[in-house]
């Protein structure tokens, strides 16, 4: 941009070139307005309008003002790419607005707003100024709800996207034992506590599986409470994974059973831990049984039952337990509460 550059300019102060009117009576020629200067002025204005996302409209003589509003340069700087509005449902203009009050005019508006449905209305102190916003423009309400203009209508896009789970759900790629996942927008980094859901096409076939999210690195996948994995733990369908800072923890199916064939355990969604297994007692000594995992707080219930099938009533073994801790218990079996006998039983314990 440049100041007027045609013939007949005057100094309007500080060395600035300006215009002078033509005065034929005194023989004074007016300032020459060149095509170059007019084109410069035109393009400067149009640049602002188009940069604001507006389409040039010869029937709208307020587009420069609208563009300045969208860029945050309007009265009160309230109407911009993201606008705070008082209401999106008020159907008629309020009777006593305050300068800077801003509304989104809803469908069905009446009175002076009737012909400006879908526009932003801002009171400038003496009149309503209307702005046609482009897609991508956002508005927020006093209660914190936010809306974005999509395909010509304002919708609660952030809330809808969050409810849909689209930010944390993806279809797994890669192979059965080396999963990959791509999220949009791409995850910048893995953070502790991050939870994602993947639609897995093939169940894992090995005891070691990895997950690489958005190219951030292949991380081992383990069960929730132990660093192990069995074939089939990652099932076909939707699985949930939680990042603990070191590994991806498979948190679904919700109740993964862990442990050895002789003693196993699981943790329910409400925090209750169930453990079970077998015990072989001795006729000469008390047997100590170690739980597959230590109960974090307390053992709430422990039951041992006889596995053998007695031939007669006198052969029924009674199991007794004692010295119960969060990690072990002691067990003995007797024949009708009298003589210690060697036997085989099942036990189950619950706690948290």
273-284 pLDDT tens trace: 899 999 988 887
pLDDT above 60 (res 145):
yes
Residue 259 pLDDT > 70: no
Mean pLDDT of the chain: 88
Cα dist from 327 to 191, 274, 295, whole Å: 32, 13, 6
Of 76, 52, 75, 78, nearest to 64 (Cα)? 52
Q: 79 or 110: whose pLDDT is higher?
A: 110
Domain covering 260-351 in this structure, CATH number:
2.60.40.3940
Please give the sequence-ordered ranges of beta strands (E in DSSP) within 76-213, or none if there are none. Answer: 82-84, 102-104, 120-123, 128-131, 138-140, 146-150, 153-155, 169-171, 173-175, 178-181, 195-200, 210-213
pLDDT at 71 over 60: yes
> Is the pLDDT score of 342 beyond 90?
no
Per-residue pLDDT band for 79 (boundaries 50, 70, 90) equals: very low
Name the pLDDT band for 131 (thresholds 50, 70, 90). Answer: confident
In the chain, where does the domain assigned CATH 2.60.40.3940 lie?
260-351
């Amino acid at each position: 941009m440049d100041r007027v550059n045609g013939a007949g300019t005057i100094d309007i102060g500080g060395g600035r070139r300006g215009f002078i009117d033509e005065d034929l009576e005194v023989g004074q020629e007016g300032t020459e307005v060149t095509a170059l200067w007019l084109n410069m002025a035109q393009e400067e204005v149009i640049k602002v309008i188009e940069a604001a996302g507006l389409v040039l409209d010869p029937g709208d003589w307020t587009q420069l003002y609208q563009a300045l509003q969208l860029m945050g340069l309007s009265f009160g700087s309230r109407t911009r790419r993201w606008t705070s509005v008082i209401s999106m449902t008020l159907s008629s203009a309020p009777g006593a607005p305050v300068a800077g009050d801003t509304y989104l005019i809803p469908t069905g508006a009446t009175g002076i707003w009737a012909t400006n449905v879908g526009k932003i209305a801002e009171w400038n102190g003496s009149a309503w100024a209307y702005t046609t916003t482009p897609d991508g423009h956002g508005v927020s309400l006093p209660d914190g709800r936010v809306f974005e203009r999509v395909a010509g209508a304002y919708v609660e896009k952030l809330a809808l996207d969050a409810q849909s789970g689209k930010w944390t759900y993806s279809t797994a790629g890669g192979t059965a034992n080396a999963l990959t996942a791509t999220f949009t927008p791409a995850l910048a980094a893995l953070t502790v506590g991050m939870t994602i859901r993947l639609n897995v096409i093939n169940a894992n076939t090995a005891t070691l599986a990895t997950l690489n999210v958005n190219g951030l690195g292949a991380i081992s996948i383990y069960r929730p409470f132990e660093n192990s994995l069995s074939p089939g733990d990652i099932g076909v369908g939707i699985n949930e994974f939680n990042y603990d800072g070191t590994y991806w923890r498979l948190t679904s199916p919700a109740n993964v059973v862990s442990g050895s064939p002789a003693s196993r355990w699981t943790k329910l969604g409400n925090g209750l831990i169930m453990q079970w297994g077998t015990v072989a007692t001795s006729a000469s000594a008390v047997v100590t049984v170690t739980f597959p995992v230590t109960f974090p707080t307390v053992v709430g219930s422990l039951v041992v039952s006889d596995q053998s099938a007695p031939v007669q009533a006198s052969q029924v073994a009674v199991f007794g337990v004692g010295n119960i801790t969060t990690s072990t218990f002691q067990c003995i079996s007797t024949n009708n509460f009298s003589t210690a006998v060697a036997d085989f039983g099942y036990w189950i314990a619950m706690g948290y």
